[in-house]
Amino acid sequence: MKDYIYEGDISETPLPEVLQKINYYKVPGVLTVKNSKGAKEIFISGGEVIFASSTFEDDRLGEFLLARKKITQADYDKSVEILKTTGKRQGKIFIELGVLTPSELLELVKEQVMAIIWSLFEWTEGSITFKVGKFKDDEVIKLNLDTRLVILEGIKRISDPKRVVKWLGKKDDVFEPSENALALLPTLPLSLDEKRIFRFVDGRRTFLMLLEVSPIDSGKTAKILYALYILGLIKKRESGIKIKAGL
């Protein structure tokens, strides 16, 4: 097997599509996204996201905690001083200083890792690669998040819905439920709004019609439709021919 099963540009192939492809094959590996300022990595195993890391200073644990006022500047400065002399992990230092309890640290590290992941859904440019192999088996804290749920939540967090609209296609594209939709539905904890939008997809309504009939705003609707599309619950009609009621 090649070291890399995917190499590309995030501006051409959006992150949700790459994650879904990785999830489909269920291979372990690390997804790396780079730009001129740094790199972020998502570690995946068995269809689950287990960890994420970043070279960006703002994503480091100390900076993350400081920005969220979970520690003071004095706590941060002391931890850096100890880190330089001992090489200990910063999280362990905070526990030894009595700044955080082990359970508090666990939850905050999870938040830090999730923040790294969500931030990547906002990237509009950069190289993206997926390298096969087992990584981060020694991590104490593992998220074990279903990759499909990461995709769903990440798409919902995209701030500019116009990007999603572009990915979905033309306004007159017709969408229909996929052949596997009924089997997939019970495995995904969709919200009421997401289930409602799914029920509107009938093989007759165009993308524009679905936006118009939706009880929620068009931006949120477009993101839900894109998530349903990426997760394989809906698909575009291959012919692109609209079917009129009664025919």
pTM, whole model, 2 decimals? 0.87
Let me know whether 22 and 142 are in one domain. yes
pLDDT in tens, 47-90: 899 999 999 999 999 999 999 999 999 999 999 999 999 999 99
Let me know whether 109 and 194 are in one domain. no
Let me know whether 107 and 208 are in one domain. no
pLDDT at 244 over 50: no
Both tokens of 168, joined, read 């979905």
171, part of any domain: yes
For 228, the domain range is 160-236
130, part of any domain: yes
Let me know whether 170 and 188 are in one domain. yes
Q: How many Å apart are CA 49 and CA 23, to the nearest integer? A: 10
Q: Are 60 and 71 in contact (CB under 8 A)?
A: no
Q: How many Å apart are CA 42 and CA 52, to the nearest integer? A: 4
Q: How many Å apart are CA 83 and CA 4, to the nearest integer? A: 35
